Chains A and B, each alone.
Chain A
Amino acid sequence: MSNVSEYRRAEQAVDVAEGGGITTQPLISQEMTEWGGDQELLSINLGPHHPATHGVLRLLTQLEGEVIRDIKPIIGYVHTGIEKTAEQKPYWKVIPVIERMDYLAYYFNAMAFCGAVETLLELEVPKRAQYLRVIHMELNRIMSHMVWLGTSALDVGAMSMLFYCFRERDNILDIFEMSSGQRMHTRYFQVGGVMEDIPKGFEEKVRAFCRRMPKAADDFQALLSKNEIFLHRMRNVTPLDEKTLLELGVTGPLLRAAGNPWDLRKAQPYSSYEDFDFKIPVGTKGDNWDRYAVRIAEIYESVKIIEQALDGLPEGPHIADDRKVVLPPRHELATSMEALIHHFKLVTEGFRVPPGEVYYPIEGPRGEYGCFVRSDGSSKPARVHMRDPSFVNLQALAPMVRDSYLADLIATLAMLDPILGGIDR
Chain B
Amino acid sequence: MFADVFFVEPWWMQLIKSLVIFLVVFNLVPITLLAERKLLGRFQARYGPNRVGPYGAMQPLADIGKLLGKQQFAPRHAQHFLYVIAPCLSVIAAAGVIALIPFGPTVDIFGTETGLYGIDVSIGILFLFALGAVSFYGLMLGGWASTNKYSFLGAMRAAAQLISYEAAQGLALVGVVITAGSLSLVDIVEAQAGMWYFIPQFVGFIIFLIAGFAESNRPPFALPEGEAEIIGGYATEYGGGRFANYYMAEYLEVVVISFLTVTLFFGGWHLPFGIDPPHWVDPIVVIVKAIFFIFFFIWIRATLPALRYDQLMSFGWKVLLPLAMLNTLVTAVLVVTLN
Contact = CB atoms under 8 A, between A and B. Distances in A.
A229 B300 CA distance: 12
Contacts of B305: 153, 156-158, 224, 227, 229-230, 233
A159 interface: yes
Contacts of B230: 406
A164 B44 contact: yes
Which of A44, A46, A50, A229 has the most C-beta atoms of chain B within 10 angstroms of its own C-beta? Answer: A229
Contacts of B46: 163
A155 interface: yes
Nearest to B302: A160
Interface in A178-235: 223-224, 227, 229-230, 232-233
A276 to B, nearest CB: 33
A154 interface: yes
A420 B313 CA distance: 34
A70 interface: no
Contact of B309 (A154, A155, A232, A407): A407
Contacts of B309: 66, 405-407
A160 B220 CA distance: 13
Interface string B223-260: 00011111100000000000000000000000000000
B304 A229 contact: yes
B149 A42 contact: yes
A226 to B, nearest CB: 12
Contact of B44 (A163, A233, A405): A163
A163 B231 CA distance: 21
Contacts of B301: 159
Contacts of A50: 231
B308 interface: yes
B292 interface: no
Contacts of A102: none
Contact of A232 (B219, B229, B303, B307): B307
Contacts of B220: 157, 229
Interface string A125-169: 000000000000000000000000000011111111011100100
B231 A407 contact: no
Interface in B22-63: 40, 43-46
Interface size class for chain B?
20 to 34
A99 interface: no
A405 B302 contact: no
Q: Looking at chain B's contact residues, is the secondary structure mostly helix, strand, loop, or mixed?
A: loop
Given A157-B220, A407-B229, A410-B228, A232 B43 contact: no
A316 interface: no
B244 to A, nearest CB: 21
A299 B303 CA distance: 22
A157 B229 contact: no
Interface in A43-65: 44, 46, 50-52, 63
A409 interface: yes
A232 B305 CA distance: 10
A424 interface: no
Contacts of B165: none
Interface in B288-322: 301-311
B49 to A, nearest CB: 15
B103 interface: no
Contacts of B183: none
B304 A51 contact: no
Identify which of B222, B228, B301, B307 gathers the most chain A CB atoms within 10 Å of its CB.
Answer: B228
**Taking each of B227, B229, B303, B310, which has the highest tally of chain A beta carbons within 10 Å of its own beta carbon?**
B229
Contacts of B40: 159-160
B153 interface: yes
Given A163-B45, A163-B46, A232-B307, A156 B302 contact: no
Contacts of B303: 158, 160, 223
Contact of B149 (A44, A164, A407): A44
Nearest to B222: A157
B148 to A, nearest CB: 10
Given A157-B219, A157-B227, A407 B308 contact: yes
A154 B40 CA distance: 14
A44 B236 CA distance: 14
Contacts of B83: none
A52 B302 contact: no
B45 A229 contact: no
A408 interface: yes
B213 interface: no
Contacts of A229: 220, 304-307
A223 B44 CA distance: 13
B150 interface: yes
Contact of A51 (B43, B45, B222, B227): B227
A230 B308 CA distance: 10
A211 to B, nearest CB: 19
Contacts of A224: 305
A408 B302 contact: no
Contact of B302 (A44, A51, A66, A159): A159
A63 B302 CA distance: 31
A167 B310 contact: no
Contact of A155 (B150, B228, B304, B308): B228
A159 B230 CA distance: 16
Nearest to B308: A407
Interface string A392-410: 0000000000000111111
Given A66-B309, A157-B220, A410 B229 contact: yes
Contacts of A227: 304-305
A44 B308 CA distance: 19
A44 B304 contact: no
Nearest to A155: B228
A164 B306 contact: no
Nearest to B304: A229
Contacts of A154: 228
15 contacts: A46-B229, A66-B153, A155-B228, A156-B305, A157-B228, A158-B304, A160-B302, A163-B44, A164-B45, A229-B305, A233-B311, A405-B310, A406-B309, A407-B226, A407-B309
Interface of A: 42, 44, 46, 50-52, 63, 66, 153-160, 162-164, 167, 223-224, 227, 229-230, 232-233, 405-410
Interface of B: 40, 43-46, 149-150, 153, 219-220, 222, 226-231, 301-311
List of 6 A-B pairs having minimum Cβ-Cβ separation, nearest first: A157-B306, A163-B44, A158-B305, A157-B305, A156-B305, A52-B228
Given A157-B228, A159-B219, 16 more contacts: A42-B149, A44-B150, A44-B153, A51-B227, A51-B228, A63-B153, A66-B309, A156-B305, A158-B304, A159-B44, A167-B45, A223-B303, A229-B220, A233-B306, A405-B309, A410-B229
